[in-house]
Amino acid sequence: MPPFKFVDLFCGIGGFHVALKRLGGECVFASDIDEKCQDVYAANFGMRPVGDITAVRAEDVPAHDVLCGGFPCQGFSNAGHRLGLLDYRGTLFYEIARIVEHHKPGILLLENVKHILTIQDGEVLRTIMETFRNLGYAMKTVTMSPDEFGIPQNRQRVYFMGVRGAEDVAAPPAPVNAPVEILQRGVQGFGVKGDVREAFDAWTEALPVIREAGVKHPVLIDLFYNTEEDLSAYPAWERKYIEQNRALYARNPEFWDEWVARHCDILEKRAVYRKLEWQVGEIADGDTMWNHFIQLRQSGMRVKKATFFPTLVAMVQTPIYGPEKRFLTPRECARLQSFPDEHSLHAKNPTAYKQLGNSVNVNVVEHIMQHLITNYMQ
């Protein structure tokens, strides 16, 4: 690989930096407004990112061959209000365009959430692509996920590839899918305790009843007793949930009344304990919550097969590895994002989890960037 210089915008804890350094790149400028991310970045690379990119003049950014960045996704994410470019954080995209217009790097690689492709009926995508095309770049998007590389996590992200002066940009080749070991052995200090553990044990008792009913929808205890209200004013999706949960309760009201009464202290502590999203498939005979991965999300206790890790997110919703009744460690989450084990993480676990959930996957970035450098670096 030829040597090259790159800038790392919205750099987080350095996923792009790790990938591009492996390919022979030298980082000449990095920026992130989050001081805790700056701390981790500095500890790993010996350079501290500057803060607010909106306060940086384009001419003060060093010359570079490659510009990369995972620009803030909150304005585009399916989990947010999806205001797109109307959201201030979404407009930070234009900070990238401002620097690109001044320096005209040969290659661009940007990352965002998959929903950016369809937000505002595709208007956000069209705006981004047209902005860079008007600046002289051939543009193409590619959607990739770590599980294509043997990493047991489905986390689809969109990558914007740009090449200055080219007529077109080819898609990268298919990656090699080689299984990657994520779990650490002999983990201590991350066990599930207290009311979380009690809630999982309580729901294990209910699984045979749910299985007998053949339920495939989310089980929402708060809807069991919503039997008198007229549903005509509800949207169709919500009305369906209410009807499904009313029917589940009506099949065995004696069990559910006794179960709710016996576990009411736990169920009333947090709304999430009253919601179950079983995404494993058919409930097996003798199955338990602890046979699987569990993630506490706003929508409920989401249960997935223990062979495939729940998607890391920027919010602290740390996956629980049921077979060992423990949370994933920050290092295991770092492995899910393909960071090397020698990469330093934040000393406080909640911060480390959040930073990793907001990071790019190193192996995915390296694969795409290697394709761009090999075929388009001049």
The dihedrals phi and psi of 299, each to the nearest 5 degrees, come to -80, -10
- Tell me the chain's radius of gyration from C-alpha atoms: 23
Q: Which long-range contacts (CB under 8 A, 24 or more apart) does 348-351 make?
A: 350/316, 351/36
- d(CA 242, CA 88) in angstroms, rounded, equals 36
Please choose, from the candidates 30, 15, 116, the residue with its C-alpha nearest in 3D space to the C-alpha of residue 369: 15
Q: Is 68 a catalytic residue?
A: no
CA distance 253 to 217: 18
For the sheet with 293-297, list strands across it.
Answer: 219-220, 275-278, 300-304, 293-297, 320-321, 326-327
CA 51/CA 330 separation, integer angstroms: 25
Helix, strand, coil share of the chain (percent; to 5): 40, 15, 40
Neighbours of 173 (CB within 10 A): 9
Catalytic site residue from 11, 27, 73, 333 = 73
d(CA 199, CA 214): 22
Query: Helices in the chain by DSSP H: which ranges?
Result: 15-22, 35-45, 93-103, 123-134, 194-213, 236-251, 253-262, 264-267, 330-336, 349-357, 362-376
CB 99 within 8 A of CB 71: no
Place of tokens 């210089």: 5
> What is the rounded distance in angstroms from the CA atom of residue 56 to the CA atom of residue 92?
13
Are 315 and 354 a contacting pair, CB within 8 Å? Answer: yes
Q: Which residues are tagged catalytic?
A: 73
